Chains A and B, each alone.
Chain A
C-alpha cells in the first residue's frame, strides 16, 4: 500500500516537473521576447504564420513550416531535402518538444531563415510558441 502511494506520488511529481519544464522554457522565452518589445502573444497569429507559404527566390518554390513538419503536428514530418524523419512537434505527443531554450532558439534562427528568408521578430516567435504549446 505504502509502495503504491509512493509510486503514484513519484509519477505525479514527474509529470508536474515535465509540464513545468515545458512551461518554463516557453515562459522564459516569451518574457524575453516581451523585454525585446513584443506585445501580447496570440496563438491565432502564430497559427496563421505557421501555415502561410513563402516564395523562396533561389529555388522558385513555396516554403512553409508545413513543408518539413507536415500538416498534422502530432505526426512525424520529413526533411524537405534529405527525407530524414522529423519527430512530431506537438508537445501533447512528444514530451521533449519546447523544453530546451537553447534548442528552440537555434531552430527558430535556422528555420525562419530557411522558410521565410529572414530571422523572425520577437513578436512572431512569441506567437509561434503560443500556438505550438497548445498542440
Chain B
C-alpha cells in the first residue's frame, strides 16, 4: 500500500501540548518550595492560558485539533479498548477514542487545577485576582482540592503515556515523534492540515516575553538587593516595641505568637530568658496593647495564621521556635546550617528571611546564606 506523509497536528496544537508538559512539570517541581512560589505561579498562569487557548482552538482550529473530530461515545471507547485485546485494532489518524477521552478529562482537570490554584494564591498568600475575596481559613478546602486534582492529573498522564506507548507498538508508529514533527505516514485518504505558524507565534511570543521578564529579575538580583516577589501589605509597626525588644534581639513581630503568649511573656518580665527587662508600667502597657492588637490571632499574614492554627488553645509558648508550625517549616534545616557563622541561632530570623524586621515572612523573601 502507498504511504503518504501528511501534516496531522498543526504547530499551535503541538506547542500547546509540550508547553503544557513543561508548565506542569515546573509547577510540580516547585509546589512545595516556598522560595520558588513565584515560579510555581508563573507556570500555573501559563498553564491556565494554554488551556484557554486550547478551548478556542478545539472549536476553530484545524481538522484534527477540533473537539468534534475526536468526540466519541463511551461505547466507542469501550469497544476500542476491547479491540486492543484482539487482533483487529482500528487505526485512527487523529486521536483514538480512549486517547480522546483522556484529553477531555485532562483538559477539565487542568482547568480545575488552575482555578483552584488561583483560589489558593488568593487565600493563602493574599495575592492574585482573588486576594481580597478569599480568607486564609477559606483557602483550606481549595488547597486540598488543588493538591488532589494535581495527583489525579499525574495518574491520568500516566494512563495517557501508557496509551501512547501501547498504540505506538501496536501500529509500529512513533506517536511521540508525530507530536513533535506534526506529520504521520498515512495509508489512504486523510485531511492535510495547515501548520498555522502565525497562530503559534501569537501564543509563543507573549509566553517568552512574560517569562523572560519574570525570570530576568533573578539575573539582575544581587545579595544586597535580592529579588523579592510577592510583596504583601505591610504590618503595623511600633517604635517603642522596636526600641525595647530590638535592643537585644530581633524585634519579633507580635503576629508571630498568640496574644496569650505575649501576655504571659510580659507577666514574667523579671525573668525574660534569665534577664530582667525592668520595664515600667507605662511601657509595659503600650507594648502589651500593640502585641494584642497585632497578635497571631489577627491573621494578618500567612505565617501568623499558620502559627496560630498550630498552637493548641491551652498552650502559650514563649518562643516562636516552640510552635508546631515553625518546627515543621524548618524541619529540613540541618544542625550544621543552624551553626553557620551568619546564622548561629534559631532566633536569628533575619539571617535567612529578608523581611524578618517587617514581620511579613513572605514565602519567597528567603535565602539561606552560603
Contact = CB atoms under 8 A, between A and B. Distances in A.
B263 to A, nearest CB: 22
Chain B: interface secondary structure?
Answer: loop
Interface string B249-269: 110000000000000000000
B248 A79 contact: yes
Given A79-B249, A84-B250, A109 B344 contact: no
Nearest to B275: A114
B140 interface: no
A58 B274 contact: yes
A134 interface: no
Interface in A82-135: 82-84, 106, 109-110, 113-114
B281 to A, nearest CB: 14
Contact of B345 (A83, A106, A110, A113): A83
Interface residues on B, range: 10 to 19
Contacts of A110: 275-278
Contacts of B274: 58
B45 to A, nearest CB: 41
Contacts of B247: 84
A109 B348 CA distance: 26
Nearest to B283: A106
B347 interface: yes
B248 A113 contact: no
A109 B250 CA distance: 21
A82 B276 contact: no
Nearest to A86: B247
Contacts of A114: 275
B344 A113 contact: no
Contacts of A81: 248, 273
A79 B246 CA distance: 11
B275 A82 contact: no
A84 B348 CA distance: 9
A81 B348 CA distance: 11
A113 B249 contact: no
Interface in A51-95: 58, 79, 81-84
B348 A83 contact: yes
A83 B250 contact: no
Interface string B5-44: 0000000000000000000000000000000000000000
Interface of B: 246-250, 273-278, 344-345, 347-348
Given A79-B248, A79-B249, A83-B345, 6 more contacts: A81-B248, A82-B347, A82-B348, A84-B248, A84-B249, A113-B276
Interface of A: 58, 79, 81-84, 106, 109-110, 113-114
